[in-house]
A and B are shown apart, each in its own frame.
Chain A
Amino acid sequence: GAGVSQSPSNKVTEKGKDVELRCDPISGHTALYWYRQSLGQGLEFLIYFQGNSAPDKSGLPSDRFSAERTGGSVSTLTIQRTQQEDSAVYLCASSLAQSGRSYNEQFFGPGTRLTVL
């Protein structure tokens, strides 16, 4: 079946504007993750959804960042009042449910490159 998809592929916005980034996970995957990759850096965890549990928001850098996952499927990452330091690639991943110490592979989307002017 289809992999993880993200839209838009690229987004250019002006400082102070709000942006929404979308992630469509693999069908049947109950776990969904958002990561941020700044230029020349590794991936930084932002937020994690697991089924109907409360999301793990511990990686969100400020209250300008929020995410929701509707119906346990599609997720939207919203950045309000964007700043130039928000410029990065935002990657989404999904997996089967994580349980205890077992591990289910995270499958990544192609990312959205956000540029804040």
Chain B
Amino acid sequence: AQTVTQSQPEMSVQEAETVTLSCTYDTSESDYYLFWYKQPPSRQMILVIRQEAYKQQNATENRFSVNFQKAAKSFSLKISDSQLGDAAMYFCAYNTDKLIFGTGTRLQVFP
């Protein structure tokens, strides 16, 4: 069975600095998708970035980028130039036909 592990319950960063959130997963599949979702206090799940396992190039979306290490089954999220609005819960997820989520990392951003 696939599992997703986020080992950092909480992280903090100062505004304009860079922070990296960790995620590891376990699967026997060779082709799959990985995601980072953001959940602000409104509860709305927002897709931040996705990575297709067959693509070696790391995905990038503006200030958000990933470090995808397929052999190590690692999928970390880097947030550059952190903003106060980045404060939220961040969930790593693996896709089969449904999403399997990690337990999340709460990110605090300090001015």
A residues apposed to B, CB below 8 Å: 33, 35, 40-45, 48, 50, 56, 59, 89, 91, 93, 98, 101, 103, 105-106, 108, 110-111, 113
Contacts and interface: CB of A to CB of B under 8 A. Distances in A.
A77 B44 CA distance: 19
A105 B47 contact: yes
B103 interface: yes
Nearest to A41: B103
A42 B98 contact: no
Given A45-B98, A48-B98, A91-B45, A103 B103 contact: no
Interface of B: 4, 6, 31-33, 42-45, 47, 50, 52, 91, 93, 95, 97-104
What is the interface of chain A mostly: helix, strand, loop, or mixed?
A: strand
A108 B98 contact: no
B43 A42 contact: no
9 contacts: A40-B103, A42-B102, A43-B101, A48-B98, A50-B97, A59-B98, A98-B97, A108-B44, A113-B43
